[in-house]
Homo-oligomer: A and B are copies of this chain.
Amino acid sequence: MVNVVICGGSGYTGGELLRILSGHPHITITAVTSEKSAGKKVVEVFPHLHKYNNLIYEPLNKEKLLNKADMFFLALPHGTSQETVNFLFSKNKKVIDLSADYRLNDPKVYKKWYGLPHKFLPALKKAVYGLPEVYRSKIKKAGLIANPGCYPTGAILGLIPALKNELIDVSSIIIDSKSGVSGAGRKADLNISYCEVNEGFRAYAIGTHRHIPEIEQELSLLYGKKIVVNFSPHLVPVDRGILTTIYAPVAKKKNAGEILRIYTDAYRKEPFVRVLDYGLYPNIKNIRGTNICEIGLKLNELTNTLIVVTAIDNLVKGASGQAVQNMNIMMGIDEKTSLDTIALFP
């Protein structure tokens, strides 16, 4: 049994960590923090989490929390995460950081996109980007995981086989993503109030979203050369889910069957990636509440374009589920523990 602390447990990703971990046979949650809700029961903030009837939010007191656990999940806003991560990591605690603070290898890039200096470069150097499909062996031995962003998870998983097999011309990759509203977090904000979002659909932050450098970093590392992308997020009036439609010119003469085989082979052993039969496309509804990424493929021979469609649940594979997957890998237990679930449909 491993003791676990969740720092930042009153947002959607924090609530989702509590939901997923509630069924985990090898961990005990010893504390959960929230500045805003300190002193409140978890069940007051999240009535669906009535199983945690005795758990009470406390303020994040690093020193006090230190001895409560060996594994720390941080679901704090970027910027505020930096220091706590560094402190815990320096004390030899295992840390899984769901914020963006340790995802970008280059502190200059971090500063440019997040407007803040990174103050803990040694820790940043040690951080492992927590995408198991790429970094599993490093995650096993890591002490600090930078848990990937939701959009990057859906985009990168859609491109790994294409990049590794040099299927595509990387000079004009287009990533058109559509996210449910929970991606914006749990907060009082007119922009995500019901009547503003419901029955609407819109693009936002085209070419300026903070997940762009993260996507580009990982695609470039995979490919071995610098890749820049067009990334356009959109807001879908649903609670959960990201569907990403990716377009890239085909670089190698391959037919649809060959491309499908490359993708299927690439993910054959992955417990949470499912490549659909050719001609089928994923629906976020079919993977809701699960850690699965579904992938559909289309080769448009008329335009010589490969189209990859991926679907994830932004709160699970895009955040808390992937965090638990990383924890399982770090603990050396079955990666699917507590994650081997079926989507709630309808």
Contact = CB atoms under 8 A, between A and B. Distances in A.
Given A188-B189, A206-B307, 13 more contacts: A51-B342, A188-B188, A194-B198, A195-B346, A198-B237, A199-B238, A199-B239, A200-B283, A202-B281, A202-B285, A203-B296, A228-B302, A237-B238
Nearest to A235: B283
Interface in A186-216: 186-190, 192-204, 206-207
Interface of A: 12, 15, 19, 22-23, 46-51, 172, 174, 176, 178, 180-182, 186-190, 192-204, 206-207, 228-230, 232, 234, 236-241, 243, 245, 247, 249, 274, 281-289, 296, 298, 300, 302-303, 305, 307, 309, 311, 341-346
Given A19-B342, A307-B232, A48 B207 contact: no
Contacts of A285: 48, 196, 199-202
A12 B230 contact: no
Contacts of A207: 298, 300, 302-303, 307
A19 to B, nearest CB: 5
Contacts of A288: 48, 199, 344
B186 A303 contact: no
Contact of A245 (B189, B234, B300, B344): B234
Contacts of A196: 194, 285, 346
Contacts of A49: 342
A194 B236 CA distance: 11
Given A203-B245, A283-B201, A237 B237 contact: yes
Contact of A202 (B193, B249, B283): B283
A287 B49 CA distance: 10
B228 A48 contact: no
A196 B287 CA distance: 13
Contact of A178 (B182, B193, B201, B341): B201
A15 B345 contact: yes
The 4 closest A-B pairs by CB, nearest first: A200-B285, A195-B346, A202-B283, A48-B343
A230 B48 contact: no
B236 A12 contact: no
A66 to B, nearest CB: 29
Nearest to A238: B199
